[in-house]
Amino acid sequence: MSRQKEPHEKVTKIKGVARLEGVHPAILYESFILPECRTKWDKNLIDMYPSQSFGGNSDVLYQSFNYPFPLTNRDNLVNRYQSFNPELGQYTIVWRSCYHPDMPEQKSFIRTWTAGSYVIEPCPRDPHSSILYSFGQIDPFGWLPDWFITSFR
């Protein structure tokens, strides 16, 4: 995983690649898109639900996250697009922040800005294992201490 932040920018760029042995790509994909799966492994997730669907593979998704005291919890609202390439066995999830009139900012959260994607594909020699490529640009807004940022490296 690599993290990059330019001194004059508020946005942090994150790239990562992980091999998950014994985790089928379809299971990994579901663990990212389904709230009931995501809450099992993402202990910082407070809430996650689609607020509007635009068809089978696009929606507006609300997510909120716990941040350690004394930081204010964050939330985001993203337009999420999902696709599957059966020839490659590859799953793609792409998102970017958006605005929706039915989901205004809440006083108890700081609304973040984010854009990114996950690409999930089977390992070349083991189709029951996955390779996860993660790309993101995140602006968490508000002050975040260095120890908090470096804990995600």
1 assigned to some structural domain: no
The pLDDT assigned to 1 comes to 55
Ramachandran category for residue 138: left, alpha or beta (phi over 0 → left; psi -120 to 50 → alpha): beta
| Predicted confidence pLDDT, tens digits, the chain (153 residues) | 555 555 666 677 888 999 999 999 999 999 999 999 999 999 999 999 988 888 878 999 999 999 988 889 999 999 999 999 999 999 999 999 999 888 889 889 999 999 999 999 999 999 899 999 999 988 877 665 555 555 554
103 assigned to some structural domain: yes
Angle at the Cα of 135 from the Cα atoms of 132 and 136, rounded to 5 degrees:
140
Q: How many domains does the chain have?
A: 1
Q: Do β-strands 126-139 and 113-123 pair in parallel, antiparallel, or remain unpaired? A: antiparallel
139 assigned to some structural domain: yes
Structure tokens at 122: 């089977």
Beta bridge partners, 119, equal 92, 133
4 assigned to some structural domain: no
Encoded amino acid at 78, one letter: V
6 assigned to some structural domain: no
Q: Could you tell me if 1 and 15 are in contact, meaning their C-beta atoms sit under 8 angstroms apart?
A: yes
CATH number, domain containing residue 88: 3.30.530.20
- Phi–psi pair at 63, nearest 5 degrees: -140, 145
DSSP helix, strand, coil percent of the chain (3-state; round to 5)? 15, 50, 35
The pLDDT assigned to 29 comes to 94
3 assigned to some structural domain: no
Domain that holds residue 87: 12-150
The pLDDT assigned to 147 comes to 57
49 assigned to some structural domain: yes
The pLDDT assigned to 132 comes to 97
